[in-house]
Chains A and B, each alone.
Chain A
């Protein structure tokens, strides 16, 4: 081997080495480095391809309709805005191969209370319960169909649905007043509350029934309703379920 190199002049070997290096550098840049690293357009295209070829895990609700009755049940109930996979988890694989893979079936109470536990940060009007006192120990699905979750019987107390207001009122000066003193509530409100509404007091004179100077009611604090609070409705300053005086 050594003899072989000695046959050439030293300078030729060096030039040869430099040349080889040069060629391999060109080859490297030309063929080994992918064009997506050299060319902006290629790079964008390669990234988009990589992103779009990622696998989908959530199939989307409508896919389940082909095989499951639950779809049509859920469509009309309170859970109509919930996607099947909100509760059952990603199910793309299952929908393509139903017997091999099964989605989770969340039968535990915790699965429901994740959304329905009372939390002051949740928007008012969202149905919330206190899982500690709301029929404890039994799984929610024994009484509520998860795909059409009606209250199993028509609740009689307003508290069942307006728990926060009821609790507030219970520690307020108005504790003695029934809800129905101030609200007229058709029976149907307890069945279809959003269609049949309860009434709300109309004007100042309503509170005046008990609070004006000439009211017959005893032991109520009295104000001159013609001047007190000027032009505002009473409940623009006093929250009716917790009338504070500050």
Chain B
């Protein structure tokens, strides 16, 4: 962004904040019966169960108003094909087009599987550290949120995220990402992607709870996270994770 344009926009935005601030001061919809300090959320993903139907991607877009184009995602599903000649291809599948994925001769395939991805809601989030205006932060229940009103659309966080989980929303020109469907989970509903998953490849829950599907998932499986060497400590954990998954 040019400096002049930036200043122009920030002036316009400041004025908008003023108006919005007024509105929000009145519309204080306090959530009753919800105490964020009593929760700490995480998600488990069983790769062996994912059938790559893309229902999660579709539901996420519908629930959160993510633009329909296939390069804006809060959650997405990658198809990995590891060929016998050791070549690896990764494609993001598009649920709108039935067989959008490239076809491979079956005899050339060594292994193949789907990997659902989303924001890892890291314990040590690099995106929070780089934000120059403090627009993104971690809530008491462990979810990383973006304040679209504060965000200036500089894209630092998009660059900093090692998982490619953020995108610049073309409508608001601010950074956007998965919130674990914060508006749903605070009302006791499941995130939309978990709600519609037909095979329960996604398991959502409280990492603090000892008797929950998530706790059981972690006890019964060998668990990995993506890019553990970066020390981001993701709260999204995977079972059956192949060594080729990046």
Q: Are A56 and B189 in contact (CB under 8 A)?
A: yes
Of the candidate stretches A37-45, A151-159, A175-183, the one touching chain B is A37-45
Q: Are A44 and B29 in contact (CB under 8 A)?
A: no
Q: B81 in the interface, Cβ–Cβ < 8 Å? A: yes
Q: Are B198 and A121 in contact (CB under 8 A)?
A: no
Please, which residues of chain A bring their CB within 8 A of the CB of B149?
Answer: 36-37, 46-47, 50
The contact string, 1 if C-beta is below 8 Å from chain A, for chain B 189-233, is 110100111111000000000000000000000000000000000
Q: A240 in the interface, Cβ–Cβ < 8 Å? A: no
Q: Are B186 and A52 in contact (CB under 8 A)?
A: yes
In the complex, the chain A residue whose C-beta lies closest to that of B193 is: A58
Q: Min CB distance, A63 to chain B, in Å?
A: 10
Give A49 to B199 CA distance when docked, in angstroms: 33
Give A52 to B21 CA distance when docked, in angstroms: 17
Q: Min CB distance, A1 to chain B, in Å?
A: 29
> Once A and B bind, how many residue pairs between them come within 8 Å at the CB atom?
138
Please, which residues of chain B bring their CB within 8 A of the CB of A35?
Answer: 21
Please, which residues of chain B bring their CB within 8 A of the CB of A114?
Answer: 53-54, 95, 98
Please, which residues of chain B bring their CB within 8 A of the CB of A47?
Answer: 137, 145-147, 149-150
Please, which residues of chain B bring their CB within 8 A of the CB of A52?
Answer: 29, 31, 182-183, 186-187
Q: B109 in the interface, Cβ–Cβ < 8 Å? A: yes
Q: Min CB distance, A139 to chain B, in Å?
A: 16
Q: A33 in the interface, Cβ–Cβ < 8 Å? A: yes
The contact string, 1 if C-beta is below 8 Å from chain A, for chain B 132-164, is 001001010000011111100000000000000
Q: A89 in the interface, Cβ–Cβ < 8 Å? A: yes
Q: Are B200 and A120 in contact (CB under 8 A)?
A: no
Of the candidate stretches A14-22, A79-87, A191-199, A217-225, the one touching chain B is A79-87
Please, which residues of chain A bring their CB within 8 A of the CB of B134?
Answer: 40, 43
* Residues of B35-76 whose CB lies within 8 A of A: 48-55, 59, 62-64
Q: B20 in the interface, Cβ–Cβ < 8 Å? A: yes
The contact string, 1 if C-beta is below 8 Å from chain B, for chain A 104-130, is 000000100111010111110010000
* Residues of A49-89 whose CB lies within 8 A of B: 49-58, 60-61, 79, 81-83, 85-86, 89
Please, which residues of chain B bring their CB within 8 A of the CB of A61?
Answer: 195
Give A44 to B139 CA distance when docked, in angstroms: 8
8 Å CB contact of A81 from B17, B81, B148, B198: B198
8 Å CB contact of B55 from A56, A86, A110: A86
Known: A117-B98, A121-B81. A56 touches B24 (CB 8 A): no
Known: A49-B28, A81-B200, A114-B53. A121 touches B95 (CB 8 A): no
In the complex, the chain B residue whose C-beta lies closest to that of A79 is: B198
* Residues of A194-246 whose CB lies within 8 A of B: none
Please, which residues of chain A bring their CB within 8 A of the CB of B245?
Answer: none
Q: Are B17 and A48 in contact (CB under 8 A)?
A: no
Q: Are A115 and B147 in contact (CB under 8 A)?
A: no
Known: A54-B183, A82-B198, A85-B195. A120 touches B18 (CB 8 A): no
Q: A133 in the interface, Cβ–Cβ < 8 Å? A: no
Please, which residues of chain A bring their CB within 8 A of the CB of B179?
Answer: 51
Q: Are B99 and A43 in contact (CB under 8 A)?
A: no
Q: Are B51 and A36 in contact (CB under 8 A)?
A: no
Q: A34 in the interface, Cβ–Cβ < 8 Å? A: yes
Q: Are A58 and B24 in contact (CB under 8 A)?
A: no
Q: Are A33 and B17 in contact (CB under 8 A)?
A: yes
Give A85 to B199 CA distance when docked, in angstroms: 14
Q: B106 in the interface, Cβ–Cβ < 8 Å? A: yes
12 of the cross-chain contacts (CB-CB < 8 Å) are A34-B18, A36-B24, A52-B183, A53-B183, A58-B196, A86-B196, A86-B197, A86-B198, A90-B63, A115-B198, A121-B52, A121-B114
- A-B pairs with the 9 shortest C-beta distances? A34-B21, A121-B112, A54-B183, A47-B147, A86-B196, A32-B18, A51-B182, A82-B198, A115-B53
Residues of chain A at the chain B interface (Cβ within 8 Å): 32-37, 40, 43-44, 46-58, 60-61, 79, 81-83, 85-86, 89-90, 110, 113-115, 117, 119-123, 126
Residues of chain B at the chain A interface (Cβ within 8 Å): 14, 17-18, 20-22, 24-25, 27-29, 31, 48-55, 59, 62-64, 79-81, 95, 98-99, 101, 104, 106, 109, 112-114, 134, 137, 139, 145-150, 179, 182-184, 186-187, 189-190, 192, 195-200
